[in-house]
Amino acid sequence: MSSVELVTTGSELLSGRTVNTHAQTLAEKLRPFGLKLVRDTTVSDDLTAIAEAVRGALSRVDLVFVSGGLGGTSDDITREALAQIVGGQLVLYPEALASLEQRYAKMGRPVTDVARRQVLILERSEGLLNPVGIAPGMMIQVPSALVGGTSRSREREQELPPTNPKTLFVLPGPPREFVGVLETGVLPRLGKLGLPVCQALENLWECTGLGETEIAERLEKIGLPTPEIEVGYCAAMGQIEVRLAAAPEHAALLAEKTAAVRAALGAAIYAETRIGLEEAVGRLLATQKKTVAVAESCTGGLIGHRLTTVAGSSAYFLGGVICYSNESKVRDLAVPRELIERHGAVSEEVARAMAEGVRARFGSDCGVAVTGIAGPDGGTAAKPVGTVWIAVADAAGTAARLRCFPTTREHVKLWSSQQALDLLRRRLQGGAPDTPRAPGLPGW
């Protein structure tokens, strides 16, 4: 695979005010082309810093992406920094200027000199129109002889011996515009660059219910990684993405190891494509033509929110009850008051009653319930902060699991929602309910 580097500009990215998502987006978009992002450098809005970062990237790889600093304000200086490397003047990009004028005319705003700065490009570049914003991107061919040195005049460059040029793609910083120019201006041009492309074969699995080290241990037992097969892990809260990649000539070995991974990870795999657990559960519900309702105490509606972020969820999500108080559990879900008095609101008995109660109230095929202690207060020696009971009721009965998440309030809610969706997934797939764990054991 050909290596690619990204240089992201913007002082706000180094101040903690803004999260930089460009590396993730770029890596995902380039992977199908056999291009691998190997370095992501973030620099402040400083001419010298930007020029040095871009020059360094060009010295290492043949394809470099630069993002940010293409607006019209005083800190938008990426174009000027690039001019230090390749030379040339900044000129108005006619097509982008026409789009700018049309946009401003519709808003009844005059086109000022500051506004026109947004559509400047280097005269030696190819402009890339911005389909969702104003500032265009650029494609710049940089002679290898210029890499690592200072800018030269056009006459001096013409005296240099011919070499294969490096390619710079320059994109706007706002994420929506970055993606827009990447998809419409960059990706269609990649195949014409003549880069050595090796289209890697890839399989991935989204997993939950196992920790990253547990998964790694299982994969090592089946002989992964190998010199021919790369193994990658990406951990998020409550889920792990596992990826195998190999060159086409190792397709047979990849197929063999793919089958072994499926067997080794088993029910922990919830999808073999990059989707969230809520979407995987939604697909199961839609395929099986089943419905679900939720009863949420400590999660405060998070499970319902996650289920309804999936398009088409109205076909299977009937509704929910946020029963934060004991009175609500009794009144809205018909949980027997004596159960709460005898066992406490955070108990297996109450969780089961909540799941059965919400299923009966909405007439759904499945009822999901969560009750727990999110903290930071309210815990006891017997039920510490982070103790959560989860239950799922369906026509086959009611399954419950106990988890303890000794972490922050926000994370207790997130972990609980993930575990509830996972228990529902396993029930829909016909899996047997797992044995409840005692408080204090890991949240998996």
What are the tens digits of pLDDT across the range 272-307? Answer: 999 999 999 999 999 999 999 999 999 999 999 999
Contacts of range 189-192, beta carbons closer than 8 Å, 24 or more positions apart: 189/139, 190/30, 190/33, 190/35, 191/33
441, part of any domain? no
Nearest to 131 by CA among 93, 185, 71, 66: 185
1 pLDDT band (50/70/90 cuts)?
Answer: low
Report how far residue 413's alpha carbon sits from residue 407's, in angstroms, rounded to the nearest whole number.
10
Q: Do 162 and 182 fall into the same domain?
A: yes
Task: Please check the confidence at residue 414 and state whether its pLDDT lies above 70.
Answer: yes
What is the reported pLDDT for 181?
97
What is the reported pLDDT for 196?
63
Residues paired with 245 in a beta bridge: 202, 230
Of 170, 190, 210, the last residue of a domain is 190
Exposure class string for 415-424: b at 16+ Cβ within 10 A, else e: bbbbbbbbbb
- Chain segment 73-127, per-residue pLDDT in tens: 998 999 999 999 999 999 999 999 999 999 999 999 999 999 999 999 999 899 9
What is the reported pLDDT for 33?
84
What's the DSSP call for residue 130? -
195, part of any domain? no
Task: Please check the confidence at residue 379 and state whether its pLDDT lies above 50.
Answer: yes
Q: Among all chains, which residue has been given the structure tokens 């938008």?
A: 76
Report how far residue 97's alpha carbon sits from residue 102's, in angstroms, rounded to the nearest whole number.
9
Q: Amino acid letter at 250? A: H
Q: Do 50 and 81 fall into the same domain?
A: yes
For position 210, which CATH number holds?
A: 3.30.70.2860
Between 354 and 197, the higher pLDDT residue:
354
Q: Do 370 and 422 fall into the same domain?
A: yes
Exposure class string for 172-192: b at 16+ Cβ within 10 A, else e: bbbeebbbbbbeebbeeebee
For position 61, which CATH number holds?
A: 3.40.980.10
- Chain segment 37-64, per-residue pLDDT in tens: 999 999 999 999 999 999 999 999 999 9
Nearest to 338 by CA among 328, 320, 326: 326
Q: Among all chains, which residue has been given the structure tokens 């014409």?
A: 192
Number of helical (H) and strand (E) elements in the chain, helices listed first:
17, 17
Using DSSP's 3-state secondary structure scheme, residue 334 falls into: coil
Using DSSP's 3-state secondary structure scheme, residue 389 falls into: strand
What is the reported pLDDT for 31?
85
Residue-by-residue DSSP string for 168-209: EEEE-SSHHHHHHHIIIIIHHHHTTS-------EEEEEEE-S
Q: Do 347 and 379 fall into the same domain?
A: yes
Report how far residue 64's alpha carbon sits from residue 55's, in angstroms, rounded to the nearest whole number.
10
Least confident among 309-313, 379-383, 393-397: 379-383
Q: How far is C-alpha 385 from the chain's CA centre?
A: 29
- Chain segment 129-163, per-residue pLDDT in tens: 999 999 999 999 998 777 754 444 444 444 444 45
Percent of the chain with pLDDT over 90: 83
Report how far residue 293's alpha carbon sits from residue 267's, in angstroms, rounded to the nearest whole number.
24
Q: Do 213 and 184 fall into the same domain?
A: no
What is the reported pLDDT for 18?
87
Task: Please check the confidence at residue 328 and state whether its pLDDT lies above 80.
Answer: yes
Of 157, 190, 223, the last residue of a domain is 190
Q: Can you read off the two tokens belonging to residue 305?
A: 């929110």
Q: How far is C-alpha 390 from the chain's CA centre?
A: 27
Mean pLDDT of 20-48: 92
Rg of the chain, C-alpha, whole Å: 28
Task: Please check the confidence at residue 410 and state whether its pLDDT lies above 90.
Answer: yes
What's the DSSP call for residue 164? P
Neighbours of 141 (CB within 10 A): 14
Task: Please check the confidence at residue 444 and state whether its pLDDT lies above 50.
Answer: no
Mean pLDDT of 404-417: 94
Q: Do 319 and 221 fall into the same domain?
A: no
Q: How many CA atoms lie within 13 A of 235 on its CB side?
A: 8
Nearest to 319 by CA among 300, 297, 295, 302: 295
Which residues span the domain enclosing 205? Answer: 201-271
- Chain segment 213-226, per-residue pLDDT in tens: 999 999 999 999 99
Report how far residue 211's alpha carbon sits from residue 209's, in angstroms, rounded to the nearest whole number.
7
Of 133, 166, 190, the last residue of a domain is 190
Q: Do 267 and 185 fall into the same domain?
A: no
Average pLDDT of the chain, as a whole number: 91
Exposure class string for 281-305: b at 16+ Cβ within 10 A, else e: bbbbbeeeebbbbbbbbbbebbbbe
Q: Can you read off the two tokens belonging to residue 53?
A: 């970062």
Q: Do 236 and 351 fall into the same domain?
A: no
Q: Total domain count for the chain?
A: 3
Q: How many CA atoms lie within 13 A of 403 on its CB side?
A: 29
Task: Please check the confidence at residue 418 and state whether its pLDDT lies above 60.
Answer: yes
For position 369, which CATH number holds?
A: 3.90.950.20
Q: How many CA atoms lie within 13 A of 26 on its CB side?
A: 32
Residue-by-residue DSSP string for 76-127: --HHHHHHHHH---EEE-HHHHHHHHHHHHHHT----HHHHGGGEEETTEEE
Nearest to 427 by CA among 245, 254, 272, 292: 292
75, part of any domain? yes
Task: Please check the confidence at residue 443 and state whether its pLDDT lies above 90.
Answer: no
